[in-house]
Amino acid sequence: MAQDENPSRKGFFTDTSVCIGCKACEVACKEWNMVPEDGLNFLASSFDNTGRLSADSWRHVAFIEQREPLGYQDSGVGRPAGDGADGPGPVDLGMPSFDLPGQRTGEHYEGDPGNFRWLMSSDVCKHCTSAACLDVCPTGALFRTEFDTVVVQEDICNGCGYCVPACPYGVIDRREVDGRAWKCTLCYDRLGEGMEPACAKACPTDSIQFGDVDELRERAQRRVEDLHEAGVSSAQLYGEDPDNGVDGTGAFFLLLDEPEVYGLPPDPVVTTRDLPSMWRHAGAAALVLLAGATAAFAGRRS
């Protein structure tokens, strides 16, 4: 298949309102990219068995447990109908309802009325427009592809780790066995063959949608508008704004609660934004020191 020599920017739109937490994306990512086993340790208070993105988890399906209504939402998202919320009555989002072990939906939990719901979201590298990891990499192991995605070349990475604290999302990580940095590549090898990334291919509900970033942004806006019209007032987009602190991302999300609830920074900023001014100030200071040393040396000789 002939490939476009100048392809448009590719990315992900993740609609968390239809994520069912099946983790098919995690499995597909590991299988295709041969990502090693990461322990799959179940957390004490959660069904989440990966916990976070890491060098061995390039996709992470977060489970956010809340004692809120299940399956149905109103304009307050989480407040039952008749609770004084404005807007229409309950709206079925098609989200599944689950009972806690030994409990029935609708029962009280330790004196707290209401049901129990999960917010689910498949997190991934954001492939930032202004990527701090690229700025700090001393070897060129990190590079921007023709699809405007950010990829690590493992054979060039020297394991310095500068990219790890540079990422405002805490995505990139070093693997313990070799010290090198690893993260999502947006299946760069598949894109080169005209295929969609493995995670999007495996997603059974189209929660993970792959395509041209501009088209995905339009699609995401329409989805938010539809949810708002249905009374889900808290539905919001995260990361799609090209004027945000990282100049927009190639992977963005529709959330049903605030970003902090999903473990996402509310106002991410590229951590290297002040580097140019810092270098200018350092250069000016070096010139002043050089001028002073020159003057002192000249004074001694005279």
pLDDT given at position 209:
98
Low-confidence ranges of the chain (pLDDT < 50): 1-2, 71-92, 94-113, 278-279, 281
Query: How much is the pLDDT for 28?
Result: 97
Q: Are residues 197 and 280 in the same domain?
A: no
> Dihedral of the CA atoms 71, 73, 79, 82 (nearest 10)?
-110
What element of type H or E holds 282? helix 275-301
Q: Which one, of 22, 53, 59, 29, lies nearest residue 198 by Cα?
A: 29
User: Smallest Cα–Cα separation from 146: which of 2, 3, 9, 1?
Assistant: 9
Residues 286 and 249 in one domain: no
Q: What's the structural domain count of the chain?
A: 2
- Residues 157-184, buried b or exposed e (16+ Cβ, 10 A)? beebbbbbebbbbebbbbbeeeebbbbb
Does residue 294 share a domain with residue 148?
A: no
Examine the domain organization and report whether 79 and 119 are in the same domain.
yes
On whether residue 268 sits in a domain, the answer given is no
Same domain, 190 and 41: yes
Full domain range(s) for residue 155:
10-262
Bridge-based pairing of strands 142-144 and 10-15 is unpaired
Q: What is the pTM of this model?
A: 0.76
Cα 201 from Cα 102, distance rounded (Å): 36
- CATH no. for residue 107? 3.30.70.20
Place of tokens 């298949």: 1
**Alpha-carbon torsion angle 72, 78, 80, 85, nearest 10:** -110
In a domain, 267, yes or no: no
C-alpha triplet 204, 208, 212: angle, nearest 5°? 130
Q: Are residues 256 and 187 in the same domain?
A: yes
Supply the pLDDT for residue 39.
Answer: 67
What would the pLDDT profile of 236-295 be if each residue is shown by its tens digit? 999 999 999 999 999 999 999 999 999 999 999 998 865 555 445 456 566 667 766 676
Q: What does the alpha-carbon distance between residue 194 and residue 206 come to, in Å, rounded to a whole number?
A: 19
Looking at the structure, tell me whether residues 166 and 300 fall in a common domain. Answer: no
Q: Which residues pair with 120 in a beta bridge?
A: 63
C-alpha distance from residue 101 to each of 23, 67, 98, 104, 109 (Å): 21, 14, 9, 8, 12
Q: Same domain, yes or no, for 253 and 108?
A: yes
Bridge partners for 174 per DSSP: 181
247 and 290 inside one domain: no
Same domain, 52 and 177: yes
Q: Do the domain assignments include residue 126? A: yes
